[in-house]
Structure 1
Amino acid sequence: MATVECRGIRKVYGALEVMRDFDLNVDDHEFVVFLGPSGCGKSTMLRMIAGLEEISGGDLLIGGARMNDRDPGDRGIAMVFQNYALYPHMSVRENITFGLERAGIGKAAIEQRLAPVVDALGLGVYLSRKPTELSGGQQQRVAIARAMIKTPEVFLFDEPLSNLDAKLRGNLRVEIARLHRALKTTSIYVTHDQLEAMTLADRIVLMKDGRIEQMGTPEEIYQAPATLFAAGFIGTPNMNFLPLQMMDGVAGDALVRFQAPAGIRSGEVMVGIRPGSFRLSDDARAFRGIVERNEFHGETRLISLRNDLHEIDVAVPASCTPRVGEMLGLEVDVADLHIFDPVTGRRLN
């Protein structure tokens, strides 16, 4: 197994710099997820680690050895792609073992490696079939098996579940997590799906515009987003953002009122509140608004309240059934507020 170190990695296409000052240490056995919107650079970074993209600046080390100029086959990595990239004329068995055969590994050794991989992914009954005879989820399991059988030091996953429907994504997400625990292989996984990131990652690397916006465990990034971008990207339903004015160290209106973070006496702040942080209240002093939307989400409902000050999304139990047009009151604890500088976007509390 191996560590992965990125030291000041840069990527330039002509005059366009798409990655800059990317610094990251991935520990042995760690499962790290690169998360972010399309175009943030997460797949580009993964491809540089794999050796499929040239590194414009900085150093990449795997297991302590510099890899910038090494061929992909010499890096001790295996990669699973978004498109399964299976050979349609080969059987499942042949697709899985083809790389080992090309490397000159004997048949007996290949069979010894094949059995546990096939068992782990439940592919035994499909070995004689062609990829066109398999579902999307089965094909992706074959692609994962092809990577596993190489016994790599580092697994790289480039949005491997994005072509699958929701149920298959959930099933394969569980399988990938189980395999990681069993194999204890260092893994880097790219996705734009925050649910995948939150459920799979030991640590999330949240990216924006070719740089790292925040790193941390899923709990750390969810509970204490470092920037407005992180707060808005992580969490479903989305966080509410309220612009409030500080006056003499106090900010507030009918919904929230709080003391300013240290060093701030006046000016505007942006306050973030997650929909699940609100409580419905009959108190006459509570924030009051008209219900404009009521969406049933299974165990919860998402309702929207509006008045002259704010429009607020609130997550409530499904048993709560307010009518559109009804007036409701809301309360929220100051401890549940996320306070940001609207200019720099940095967290203040």
Structure 2
Amino acid sequence: MEVGIIGLPASGKTTLFATLTGQDAQPGFSGKVEVHRGVVQVPDARLDRLTDIFNPRKKVPATIQYIEVGGMDSDSKGFDAQFLQVLKNTAVLCVLIRAFDSETYPHPLGSVDPQRDIAMVDSEFLLSDMAIVEGRIERLEKQVKKAKDEALEKELALMKHCYGFLEQEIPLREAGLSPDEKRILRGYQFLTLKPLVLVLNLAEEDIAKEAEILAKIPQRPSVTSVALCARAEQEISQLAEEDRNLFLEELGISEPAANKLIRASYELLGLISFFTVGEDECRAWNVQNGAMAPEAAGVIHSDLERGFIRAEVVHYDDFMAAGSLSAARDKGKLRLEGKTYPVKDGDILNIRFNV
């Protein structure tokens, strides 16, 4: 899963990226598209415990790739092609919104106003998508005039439908699009269709006001807001592990930034985790909530989905209560499930297949 980190200059993007990934990236103030990439392991105490029990050769947690992208200006020049190309494959956009004052790094617009900055980012997203939709409508109209094509006519009607929402400054994520319509639009990777995490970057003295500050941000579909102090969390992330919790507690930080953003991303995307265990490896996998067993098998390997027969399933909680797989089987908690079984968060799966 890829998560894009963007924001206006001096909002704290690079500081947050360094906090999440441990990489010493340097902030850019040139307005050029600068890209930093880093992979973060998703912490999961359940996987840690399973690894302790099975003692495999390898532990493989789920991962998130964070992509920090510079080049978003405060003068509303729009996004260039390189900026959009980098963000194309991201599943979630994480937008840094500055909520702190600094004489050293003044806000490029001269004052700190989170609501104004959110509106500016929204406007840039809308304009970017409108430009793409306009261009596509123009090409489709030429194509359908030359030859009747039901698929192209359907896409043209959808594009005009989308343009109507964008023209009214309504993001496509709020347009009530059907799964089939989203499938048609998938290749365009519209920014206003992507789930959004608004990250309010606070001053250290405002950490205790987190809930109060977040309450001022309007709630919207497929958008969630979190608040953190990127600078303080970066400093804490550089401490020895045994000291981190102490400093987090002293500052009143209930949850590290990495955990907040991972949880927000999972919730927006509707992702759950399941596990495979054994002597070779214990591994965490992600799948859409509501996915059936064959789809989960396909996440592991396409052959497992193609040749799916049954899945041996035990929930993590039931396994821990039983103490072992054999004990879970004796208690009826380890069972066989078929193609219509919806995988649950925390399931431990062993796929039976034949190809």
Identify whether the pair has TM-score above 0.5, normalized to the shorter chain. Answer: no
Larger strand share, 1 or 2: 1
Higher-Rg member (1/2): 1
